[in-house]
Structures are given as C-alpha cells and as structure tokens.
Structure 1
C-alpha cells in the first residue's frame, strides 16, 4: 500500500505547510514523494528513509508533462494511493492518476484554497478537484466553512478535518531557552517572541507599533522576532521610527529543527496575524501557536481565518484584534505584569495540545482516509 505524495511543499523549503507534509509522511508505512527542485535538496533527501523524486522545475503544476511523470512514478513504485500536499492546483491530476491505478486519492487544503472557493473560474476548478478525490481535508473550521459551499453536495459530505500535530517532546518547557537568551543578550529581561516568516500577514509590524505601550508597564521588555522574510528591512525601519529599535531583536532565518529553544526563551508568544488582500490572504491555522502552547507559553493570537482554533481564549491565551496595536499592547503588558497568570495559561495550553493535537491522532486520520 505505497502512497505517492505529490507536493510543492516539502523541505528543505521552510514553512508550516512543508513541515506538515513532511511529518505526515512519517505516519505512513510506505511513501514515495514527487516534489519540486529546491536549493540543497540532495543533501536533505539523503537523510530521509523514503525515496524523493525531484522534478527539474521549482514548482509542480498539473501540466501534461508533470502529470505523465506522476503516472510513471505511481506505476514504477507500485503505488495505489495518492496524497496531494496541496489540493489546488495539483489535484487536477487526479483523474489521470485514477485511470493509472490509484485506488484512493486525498487532497490536503490549506489557506489558499479558501480564495479558490470564492473566485469564479478557480471555484469551478476546485469543484473538479474535489470530484476526482475521495476526500479533501481542511486544517481548521474556518477553512472548512469557506471551502464546502464551492463543492458538489456529495464532495462536501466527504470533506474531513486533518490538522497538523505537535511534537510535544521537542516543544516542551525548559527545552533550551536559557541558552538562547544568553546567546542573544536577553538574560534577566521579559521577552515576547514571534516565530514566523517576516511578512505582513503575520503582524510583526503590529507588535512593533504596540511596543511603546508595552514598555510603559514593563520598561525592560524585549521583542524577539524569529525568522526571515521579505519584510525584514521594513520592520527594522519601523522599529527605528517607533523608537524601539534597541528593544527589538531580529534573529534572521532559523532552521526548523532549532526553533524550540527560541520559543522557550520567551515569557509570552505573540503572532497578531491578520487577513489581507480583501480576504484572499487569511491565516489558515497557525501551527506555531500550538507549538508555543506545547512549550508552556501563553499565546496572543490575531483573530484571522482559522487562527482562533489554536487558542482557547482566556484559558491558553487570548485572541486580539490584529489591526489594533493598542489592544495588542495592553494584552501583552498585562501578561508580562502577571507571571503567575502566564504560568497558568501556559500549563493549560500544554495539556490541551498534548491531549488533542498529537501527530498520532493526525496520522490515524490520514491512514483511515487513505485506507492503509
């Protein structure tokens, strides 16, 4: 029962979707991955316990050539199950793979399929993708609400929730934060961390704008921005204009394997994510928030798309208006001023993630959907 995984979202490219797809591969008995070319991919692929076939292009699209290659791999490896790492647009290859012998086809949806569901043309394409698959999965209740109406009644009934899991052994309290603090010169000061790509949707600019208000209550508080991205220069300049450049620490890109200690280095984890581009660019879920909860950190999360699924408001952290730096600043300042409340929220978050967001549960759902 070999599964052919067809995806553009695969390491060494960094990101939540890439880690999601990679981790799901570990939950399947036999896997072959067909994916796009990435810098330094050969060295990464050599570490994996399953074969990875890289296309010559940097992005797989459902063209005739790539569809033919996917069919060849299905047959060469004796695969009879297919998992599309992103249903749109790769799921358009579904009918050809079905004719070639695929018995079960599952398409993962993330954030971008939500706008496919709402735009004429792509809406019809998404409907075709769902008809060709046995199941489309969604990562959050919000994504499901957006996608279901675009599908036929029969396909809508086959939609299932498949969320990422969290490795609670890697993301755990005291998993190396003190070493990170020492290395960054943050010993003995309150730290708020945001671990994410530096892009507008994640709301790092809101945190910087909120920081003067935070420092009115907690003067020595530092903001730790972990990750790289196209907004680095904009955020650095914003910190200068806001007068907090000495209190904002940029780490640059950090390999995913080294992320847990950076989360552990903080008292509070904050990502005031927001929906952009007239609703076409939402936050589908936000696995980093759940990882922070697993590390025992209270979380402050923007109310965007499926992000509310990652926090129990008032129990593991708080939802905030991502367009309101004052509200964000007040919430963060209140948490930093109440260490005991932070500990209580963090402990509740770790218990919740341990019980309900495990890879064991996610893997069981996927194996059921693929019938393996």
Structure 2
C-alpha cells in the first residue's frame, strides 16, 4: 500500500478552502496510508476552530507540526521532511501547494521517494505571470511526477509556464462537497429564528471579508435590490480585515439595517448558514493585474449542494463551478448593476430560483464528490 506524506501550510485548524481541500483528501485516503507534516496556525487563526492539539488527536492519521506559522523550504524544514519520510516509510509525497514547498521535491526524490505530486490552486495560476515565481513553478513541474489543476482556467495558466513534458503530466484534481452536510434542511430554519430573519428573502455570501471576494459589490448593489424586494436581507458570513470598511459602506449606502455581519462561523455551523438563504452570491474579482484570482471557489459548490442558485463573479476559475444560466449566473464583478439584476430576478421568482438550485445540487452530487476526488488522487499517486 502506498504511504503518503502530505507536506502543507494549508491545514486545519487554520480555516479556509484550501485547508478544507487538503484535509478532506487526507481523510479519504485508506487507513494507515497518510502522515501530515504542516505548520502551526497563529493564535489569531484559532478563534472558530479547536486548538491544534485537540484537532490533531482527533484525526485518523499522524499530524506532525513545525512550530512556525509558515513552512518554508529552508534547510531545517527540508531535513525534517526527509527524516519523516524515512521514519514513516512514505513512498509518496503530496505537497498541499506547489509553491513554495514543492522546491523540496528533488531532495525527497534523492532520498528514495517514488512518487511526488504537487497541488495547485488559484494563487499559483496568478503567480504564473511573475518572472521569479514562473521559474520556481517550472522547477517544481520538472521535479514532480504530477502537477494538479482545478479546472480549465488554472490549467491554461500553468501549462504556459511548465516545460512541455511537465504540462503533459498535469492532471485535474478538484475538491468535492459532502452533500450530506451541505443540503437543504441543514438547520437553516433554526438559524433564521435565531437571527430574527423570519420569512424574509435572504441572500448569503460565505467567505472571508477581503476585497477580492466582492462583498462591496453586493453592498453597492443592495439599494437597487431593496427597491424591488424591500424586505430582503444580505447575510455576510465570515470574518476578515475588510469588515469595518464594508460596515461603513453599508451605512453610506443607507442599507445598514438590512445587511447582517455574522463574523467568523465555526465549521460545524456553516451548512445552516447556507440553508438559511434563498440565493448565494459572491461576485469575486481578479486583483493586482491577475495575480490574485479565484481558483475555483468551493463555496459555490457548497451553496449548490445546499440547493441554492449561485451568482458568481467572473474571476479565474469561478465560472467552472457554475453552469451559467442553468445552476446560477456569472456576472461582471466590477459593476453592481449586473449583480443587482440577477438577485432581483432570483428573489422575485422563488420557484425558478429553487429549480435552478435543484439543478445545482444534482450537478454537485454527480460531478463534485469526494469519492470521485479520492479516486482521482489514487490514480495520480499510482
């Protein structure tokens, strides 16, 4: 049986989509086949998750943490990774992100690791346009057996950087969704009661509050939405450094009374926050000349699994998660008008919105399962 060492900076209890992706891949490996070597989340990351020690003990595999918030491929980390691989008899390595940790691939290969795979996400696709990062990505591609990609957008960006042989070895590996957790009836009614939402129409956005995610576009669109749907509520789920600016924008636009900020939400409570909504919207956008893009957006898939129609911004690979016009809509994220029009149409026709959400859930159950992702990883690891 292949025994895999996962080396990653992106792992719970630090929250985030990549963290959830890597963790789920680890949990879906055969028993006894995984060891995780990762960083330790800073204390500021621990608010809505268990402490690392309690989290690690609960996992069905060993978790070895370096006492640093970021693993970098320096001499000490390289030496420890090679030592863990030897002591744990790991014959394969999976890097949670290709850059920068994939720079350790050549040394691990010399120590006898048979198979090396590097995951990529949105940030690698952005970095592919930077000269220094391009060289590192090309080196990672040359020294690993497979570089994975999320969808057509990320593959196209990365394939231009890798040498032709590495580009031919690329394989798609995208996250799945647990449709038993994210589903209609997952506690939304109780949450609505707790938040005193009653039967009001709700648009939810689940994400960190940062400029790229587009919560400001939602707030700019909200006066037009309220003009047509006066009792609508915008539920912004998540914490982040942009919150004070978003709160100020809501006051400036005169909609503060209908915009609710939940702050950070525990992982176990996320399904209820989707289930409390009628529509999901995150008009994410690309920033910094394309360096900061949405790789895929697992929140769009979680929302679809919850039976919600989705409004997504046209950033990076986000359109891969939405079948435009069928399971949701893809909008220009820089303009509030397109977002407002789509939200008004969906909130104004609940039957059509529910049908669109139902098609989204069917698609996720068919195409975006963790069982499918686990099978693809099995094949990639050989």
TM-score for both structures, normalised by structure 1: 0.99
The whole-number CA distance in structure 1 between the counterparts of 2:148 and 2:28 is 16
Deviations 1:139-167 (A, max 9, x none): 12101110001011100000111000010
Q: Which runs of 5+ in 1 are unaligned?
A: none
Is residue 139 from structure 1 mapped to residue 150 from structure 2 by the alignment?
A: yes
* Aligned partners of 2:126 and 2:293 also within 8 Å: no
1:301 alignment partner, SS class: strand
Q: List structure 1 runs of 4+ shifted beyond 3 angstroms.
A: none
Is residue 324 from structure 1 mapped to residue 327 from structure 2 by the alignment?
A: no
Equivalent position of 2:52 in the other structure? 41
2:99 alignment partner, SS class: helix
1:270 alignment partner, SS class: strand
* Aligned partners of 2:10 and 2:96 also within 8 Å: yes
How far 1:122 sits from its partner (Å)?
1.5
* Aligned partners of 2:27 and 2:60 also within 8 Å: no
Match of 1:249 among 254, 257, 260: 260
Equivalent position of 2:48 in the other structure? none
Equivalent position of 2:20 in the other structure? 19
Equivalent position of 2:326 in the other structure? 315
Equivalent position of 1:107 in the other structure? 118
1:106 alignment partner, SS class: strand
1:326 alignment partner, SS class: helix
How far 1:116 sits from its partner (Å)?
2.6
How far 1:328 sits from its partner (Å)?
0.6
Is residue 32 from structure 1 mapped to residue 43 from structure 2 by the alignment?
A: no
Q: Which runs of 5+ in 2 are unaligned?
A: 44-50
How far 1:330 sits from its partner (Å)?
1.1
1:187 alignment partner, SS class: coil
RMSD: 0.7
How far 1:256 sits from its partner (Å)?
1.7
Deviations 1:208-246 (A, max 9, x none): 010000011100000000000110111111100010000
Is residue 189 from structure 1 mapped to residue 211 from structure 2 by the alignment?
A: no
* Aligned partners of 2:188 and 2:273 also within 8 Å: yes
How far 1:115 sits from its partner (Å)?
2.7
The whole-number CA distance in structure 1 between the counterparts of 2:206 and 2:123 is 21
TM-score for both structures, normalised by structure 2: 0.96
Match of 2:98 among 87, 101, 107: 87
Equivalent position of 1:266 in the other structure? 277
2:160 alignment partner, SS class: helix
Deviations 1:52-91 (A, max 9, x none): 0000111001111100000000001011110000011100
Equivalent position of 1:63 in the other structure? 74
The whole-number CA distance in structure 1 between the counterparts of 2:129 and 2:334 is 24
**How many aligned residue pairs are there?**
371
Equivalent position of 2:211 in the other structure? 200
